Amino acid sequence: MNYRFSYLSLGMFVASVFIITLLSTLNHVPATYKATEVRFCYGDSLEWKNPSYSTAHWQRNFYDSSGVFWIRLVVHITQPPQRFEPQGITVDFTGMYEVYWDGQLLGRNYHPHKATQQVQYAPLHGLFLIPDSLGKAGRHQVALRVRYFKNYGKSPHLLESDYTDLNVGNYLALAQDSLVSTAYVHIIAGVFLVIGLYYFFIFMVSNRHLRFLLFAIICMSFFALLIVEHLRFYYYYNFTFHYTRLVIIALLTLGISVLLPLFFMHRFPFKYKLRVIGAMLAMILPIWIFAQGIDPKTSYTMLVSFGVSLFLVLRAMQQRIEGSTEALLGIVVFFIAFVWLDNYDLKLFLGFGFLIIFMLLSLSIQMRKQRQEYEASLVHSSRLELEVLKKNIQPHFLMNSLASIIAWIDDDPAVGTRFIAALAEELEILIDVSSKKLIPLQREVELCESYLEVMSLRKEVNYTLYTVGVKPDDLIPPALIHTAIENGITHNHDKDGKMAFYLSFAQNRYQRHYTLMSVGVHRKTVAKKTGGTGLKYMEARLQESFPNRWQLLSKPIEGGWQTEFFIYNRETGASTASSP
């Protein structure tokens, strides 16, 4: 257990909960005043702007309108404004309007002489100054004379929908607070953009694991979500773009919600990816069909996504997969933010933001572990390099070879010369490939042929290698087939001065399959020599090059000995089966 990461995770969790608790407390402080007693009336009369005009017969619910209509509402300023602190009113409205405060015109969001031509140029957001004489504490009447309106949400409560809003408060605070918060949000967005680009480059350059690409896409999607969500605070776009912006926000949230469980399924290996994603989409589809408004759609979608993610993380914790605790803490923080905070934006940004931070910590733990395994593999690879050289340049091998050379030079110099050339070629190839992780199969076959020629001259047995369907450019660990041939010679002896080796290759969409069959007479006296140096060398090389994606079978067959290598396209676990 890594206590450094455990303490870091616990500290981040406590800090996250503290920040959410603090913001949930501050969120109850009324910085602005909301509207009450909202009434609607179709038609047009300037008399309706007067506070004394009775709206008892006006409608409470709004459905739609293609012409002029009025909205009347009441705002209560409960605290007397400070001196030299003017009051203001902000209106977010998907239409063209004039706003009146206690019967006095404050302004409009369109040019009065070009009303019909400027439908597409009326800004969504409007900020209007309330005169000091009218901004005192008490009950105030607000009237909106609407010239054109687009009811995107089909909501009967206009000022409580995703598309419209009205707030009254300190004029400078209304003008500045959103920009200040947006500045901090953009700093956070920049951090997530850098993190996303970093992991995208890691995926492209060095580590092709899909979890890094998914995490990069999630971070960059969250960056885009932050930018689009706060776009209205510094870019006063036309109200006709507002619905498009909300759809973009909803689609980004949907994309992140789908990618999140997919990331956890790759971070913590899970077999039934398509089934889980299909079930999640089946739950999300009715939400998008029947839920009214953008905020409910995105909120329920996130709850489904995080519920599925929680299931995957709990399963990973049950399997004791490193990094699952950090992922669980991130999901718990999200649920705390979702329950404790009233503001939707805070729910979204703090919930997702803290979760991504914990996901980053979980990935860091995994990358640290991979780095340690890589460093260990380098040491192991060096040992394997020495082993393959030591295995073939050991004293008794050289002594036997030199003794054979001397004998052949005395008896048949031509054969002695062939022996020296074959031995030199084998050692040259061994020195060339021993430091490499993978080599072309053609090079491996050349090594095996040189070795068999040396052994043929040493033992006066005709050793022959035949290949069937092999791909010369296919990459395998060095001396893999060479070692399997050595095992074949160890477990078999020749028949009538001959021994043949058949190397075949088969491939499908799931695996590559090599089979080496040694045709000879099985040596029963070496039946107990299973799991020896040669087998361990092949296991180590396969695990180094194809971690947990291989299988090795070595067993006697009728008429000889057979060794099989399976190299899978995805991780299935590594195994060896050897029979006497």
Residue 246, pLDDT above cutoff 80: yes
Q: Answer yes or no: is pLDDT of 347 > 80.
A: no
pLDDT value of residue 89 = 92
**Which span out of 212-226, 413-427, 547-561 was modeled with the highest average pLDDT?**
212-226
Specify the pLDDT at position 155. 53
Cross-strand bridge partners of residue 97: 146
Residue 161: the pLDDT is: 54
What was the pLDDT predicted at 1? 44
Check whether 173 has a pLDDT greater than 60. Answer: yes
- The C-alpha atoms of residue 555 and residue 557 are separated, in whole angstroms, by 7
Q: Residue 284's pLDDT band (boundaries 50, 70, 90)?
A: very high
**Weakest-pLDDT range from 121-125, 422-426, 524-528, 555-559:** 524-528
Q: Which of 98-102, 117-121, 413-417, 532-536 has the lowest mean pLDDT?
A: 117-121
Asked if residue 325 has pLDDT above 60, the reply is yes
369 Cβ contact partners less than 8 Å away, ≥ 6 residues apart: 322
- Does pLDDT of 170 surpass 90? no
For residues 94 and 125, the answer to whether their CB atoms sit within 8 Å is: no
What pLDDT is attached to residue 363? 80
Confidence at residue 283, expressed as pLDDT on a 0 to 100 scale: 94
Cα 132 to the center of its chain, rounded Å: 54
Q: What is the pLDDT of residue 395?
A: 47
Phi, psi of 469 (to 5 degrees): 70, 20
Which residues 6+ apart lie within 8 Å of 55 measured at CB?
Answer: 39, 41, 48, 72
Residue 79 pLDDT greater than 90, yes or no:
no
**Strand pairing category for 560-568 and 550-557:** antiparallel
Give me the mean pLDDT over the 471-482 stretch. Answer: 90
**Mean pLDDT over residues 450-467, rounded?**
87
Higher confidence at residue 494 or residue 395? 494
Higher pLDDT among residues 457 and 406, named by residue: 457
Q: According to the model, what pLDDT value does residue 207 have?
A: 67
Residue with more model confidence, 159 or 64? 64
Whether 34 has a pLDDT exceeding 80, the answer reads no
- The yes-or-no verdict on residue 372 having pLDDT over 50 is yes
The residues, ordered by sequence, that sit 6+ positions from 164 with a Cβ below 8 Å of its Cβ are: 92, 93, 94, 158
Mean per-residue pLDDT, 357-379: 73
Mean pLDDT, residues 198-223 = 87
Q: Predicted confidence band at 389 (pLDDT cuts at 50, 70, 90)?
A: very low
Identify which has the larger pLDDT, 529 or 348. Answer: 348
- Contact between 457 and 415 (Cβ < 8 Å): yes
How much is the pTM? 0.65
Cα 333 → chain centroid:
19
Q: Is the pLDDT of residue 24 over 80?
A: no
Quote the pLDDT of residue 27: 46
Could you tell me the two tokens for 145? 């004379």
Burial of 540 (0-12, 13-18, 19+ CB in 10 A): middle
- pLDDT score for 279: 92
Of 301-315, 364-378, 479-493, which gets the smallest average pLDDT? 364-378
Mean pLDDT of 72-100: 87
pLDDT tens-digit series, residues 225-243: 989 988 877 777 888 888 8
pLDDT of 482 above 80: yes
- The lowest-confidence range among 151-155, 210-214, 285-289 is 151-155
* Rounded mean pLDDT, 197-205: 89
What token pair was written down for 405? Answer: 């050379």
pLDDT of 580 above 80: no
pLDDT given at position 401: 62
Rounded Cα distance, 444 and 553, in Å: 20
Structure tokens at 28: 């109850």
Binned at pLDDT 50, 70 and 90, residue 391 comes out as low
- DSSP E strand boundaries for 371-522: 439-440, 462-468, 475-476, 492-493, 498-507, 511-519, 521-522
3-state secondary structure of 193: helix
What percent of the chain clears pLDDT 70, i.e. is strictly above it?
82
Q: Judge contact between 504 and 472, C-beta under 8 A.
A: no
The single-letter code of the amino acid at 458 is: R
Residue 64's pLDDT band, with cuts at 50, 70 and 90, is low
- Write out 317-363 in H/E/C secondary structure: HHCCCCCHHHHHHHHHHHHHHHHHCCCHHHHHHHHHHHHHHHHHHHH
Torsion over CA: 247, 252, 255, 256 (sign): negative
Mean pLDDT of 391-402: 54
> Can you tell me the mean pLDDT for 108-130?
77
pLDDT of amino acid 116 = 56
Interval 89-109: pLDDT, tens: 988 888 889 999 999 999 998
Ramachandran assignment for 138, one of left (phi > 0), alpha (psi -120 to 50 degrees), beta (any other): left
Strand order in the sheet with 165-170: 32-33, 165-170, 87-92, 125-130
Given a cut of 70, whether residue 572 has pLDDT beyond it is no
Rounded CA gap, 495 and 516, in Å? 18
